[in-house]
Amino acid sequence: MKMACNSKPSMIDFTTMIRPILFATALLSSASCSTAFAPAATAVTTQQQRTSSSTITSLTPLKMSDSPDSPTQLKIQSLVDDNPVLLFMKGSKLFPQCGFSNTACQILQSYNIDFESVDVLADEQIRQGVKDFSQWPTIPQLYVCGEFVGGSDIMIEMYQSGELGEMIEKAKADMV
């Protein structure tokens, strides 16, 4: 079926256009970030207790997080306190190493805000420490005005609803 050369394309609102782009970006990069949405693995140890008639096996979770006063946790707290908009991500703003981190950067850049980013791939202690700090298992992680917002999936939802824009505007006002 041929379309007429003089037909005009219909108007599509920005939200309808950007949603599939963001979704496709996340999907295309999922091979490099295959664990980004996987639940956090919980390591356990098995302890066996002997009773008179049988063996009872109990599971005890291993403690993997740093104490709140560890140097890593203090460094993360300092970064969160010192930067009104902070993104812990894989890669940098200029060269994201993960599609989810790329999506998060694109959303923040759409607000024309100067945000700070921390490359978690450069420091394994920060990479694990930020997950413990926020009690959130995935990267990227966004903090606005010292408050943990969430990962790229939550950022997309908040972007689409306009809620993230309101938070960013408040952060912009705090920066001035």
- At residue 173, the pLDDT reads 83
The CA distance from 13 to 176, in Å, is 32
Segment 92-106 mean pLDDT:
96
Model confidence band, residue 68 (pLDDT cutoffs 50, 70, 90): low
State the burial class of residue 158 (Cβ atoms within 10 Å of its Cβ: 0-12, 13-18, 19+). buried
The CA distance from 81 to 76, in Å, is 9
The CA distance from 46 to 59, in Å, is 5
